[in-house]
Amino acid sequence: MKAVGVVVEYNPFHNGHFYHVSQSKDRSNADVVIAVMSGNFLQRGEPAVIDKWHRTKMALKNGVDIVIELPYAFCTGHATFFAEGAIQLLEAIGCTNFAFGSEEGTIHPFLNTFTLLKSHEEQYNALIKQYVSTGISYPQSLFKAYEELRQKEQGHTIDLSKPNNILGYHYIEAAKRLNLNIEPMTIPRIQAGFHDDINTESTIASATGIRKAIFEQQSLEEIVQFVPDETYMLLEEWQNKYISFIQWETFWPYLRFAILRHTPEQLTRFADVSEGIEFALSKAAKKSNSFNQFMTLIKSKRYTWTRLQRMLTHIFTGITKEQLHNSSKLSYIRLLGMTKNGQAYLSKHKKQFPLPLISRVASTNDPMLLLDIRATDMYALGVEMASGELIAGDYQTPPIRL
């Protein structure tokens, strides 16, 4: 059986995702679609609006056959590392292709960009250095250096100011760097931009727009046209049980408690907390009554919102630099759910997987898996605090079967 892989967060699953899944399957002629999905904490350093089990169900009801979890170490990492973990997992589970959505929409410009940057690596790095030295931020310097190189190139290359082009490039770069066999494909994104508000004349909105509508309107009616029925029902189910959708604001009392329980010096033990910021974190946490107020106090030119949120994720989960450092090697495939079709694929192919397929965890010493368990536990405590309802135990429950 042929499998195509997708890298997703589904926060939450919407019509654009549905389009991407069906296109990926059709264009690759695959029998199954396998999604590698972030767990309860996401790449932008945020807790997911609903937990990974609900998001897995959304996926399985809408064309995905197998959902596996991207370990915490990768899904809270920077783009290069995130991509490395995701693409390695898709290769390990036997996908012949992976398909990402992009503004560009065709694959050759991505490959041209890769060739351009690899063949001019020294020049590229020198240009970046030069821009940084003029006081421009690192991401901006990268972009300017790339634009300068690009002008000299004959072939069509991608626009790296577009967020989905950037993500896609990281996937391709990871696959090439790690010498993987998995082949990249891209599906053009339709309509919604990355940061758009929802547009009532369309049926496509970005996940960002959908989350904004959920949190600002406190009602699901606004989003009904942008999500499949099953997403709507699962969001409703969550809301009935856990009262609020999850955002940093929901977890703020615990996050503040976690920050203030340590001296600034002790805070630097946690992953991504870089020297200097710890004093600002302590000071701001004492003064703030909300996450938003806190972020306003610690935000500065030096740190992007995402970078700050990632530090806060690690402080919240209590995960240290040492723990993260010891968890850089992928050692398992964690199964979150499967359809009958997915199950048939796994039965047929799992003996060839180079990594063990984990359905349930009794006890483990795997440092990477221990981080996943920790992150899940802390997310569950946060949800419980907000709702009084306990989330079903994670590593004792079997994968979802549809």
Q: Which segments are annotated as binding site for ATP?
A: 7-20, 101, 164, 189-190
Q: Which of residues 313-332 bind a second copy (CB under 8 A)?
A: 317-318, 323
**How many helices (H) and strands (E) are present in the chain, helices listed first?**
18, 8
User: In the chain, what's the furthest Cα-to-Cα distance?
Assistant: 60
Give residue for tokens 């290359």: 157
Q: Which region among 20-28, 49-57, 180-188, 252-260 touches a second copy (by CB under 8 A)?
A: 252-260
Q: Which of residues 323-382 bind a second copy (CB under 8 A)?
A: 323, 370, 374, 377-378, 381
What is the C-alpha to C-alpha distance for residues 108 and 156, in angstroms, rounded to an integer?
8
Beta strand residue intervals within 226-361, DSSP E: 333-338, 357-358
Peptide bond into 354 cis (omega under 30): no
Of 379, 353, 356, 352, the closest CA to residue 369 belongs to 356
Shortest spacing between CB 289 and a second copy, in angstroms: 8
Of 126, 191, 116, 118, the closest CA to residue 158 belongs to 116
Shortest spacing between CB 112 and a second copy, in angstroms: 47
The answer to whether 385 contacts a second copy (rule: CB under 8 A) is: yes
Shortest spacing between CB 243 and a second copy, in angstroms: 16
Q: Which of residues 269-298 bind a second copy (CB under 8 A)?
A: 286, 289
The answer to whether 395 contacts a second copy (rule: CB under 8 A) is: no
Residues in the interface with a second copy (CB under 8 A) total 23
Shortest spacing between CB 252 and a second copy, in angstroms: 11
What is the C-alpha to C-alpha distance for residues 317 and 368, in angstroms, rounded to an integer?
14
The answer to whether 206 contacts a second copy (rule: CB under 8 A) is: no
- Please identify which residue in 105, 163, 193, 253 interacts with a second copy, judged by CB under 8 A: 253
The answer to whether 126 contacts a second copy (rule: CB under 8 A) is: no
Q: Are strands 66-70 and 333-338 parallel, antiparallel or unpaired?
A: antiparallel
Shortest spacing between CB 221 and a second copy, in angstroms: 29
Tokens of 147: 């634009």
Shortest spacing between CB 318 and a second copy, in angstroms: 3
What is the C-alpha to C-alpha distance for residues 187 and 101, in angstroms, rounded to an integer?
5
Tokens of 101: 């959505």
- Please identify which residue in 14, 25, 57, 256 interacts with a second copy, judged by CB under 8 A: 256
Binding residue numbers: 7-20, 101, 164, 189-190
How many other C-beta atoms are found inside a 10 Å radius of the C-beta of residue 245?
A: 20
Closer of 1 and 373 to a second copy (Cβ)? 373
Which runs of consecutive H residues, i.e. helices, occur in 134-247? 138-151, 163-177, 207-217, 229-242
The answer to whether 264 contacts a second copy (rule: CB under 8 A) is: no
| Cβ 72 vs Cβ 367: under 8 Å | no
Shortest spacing between CB 394 and a second copy, in angstroms: 11
- How open is the CA angle 378-381-383, to the nearest 5 degrees? 110
Closer of 261 and 348 to a second copy (Cβ)? 261
- Please identify which residue in 108, 261, 325, 348 interacts with a second copy, judged by CB under 8 A: 261
The residue ranges that bind a second copy (CB under 8 A) are 253-254, 256-258, 260-263, 266, 286, 289, 317-318, 323, 370, 374, 377-378, 381, 384-385, 390
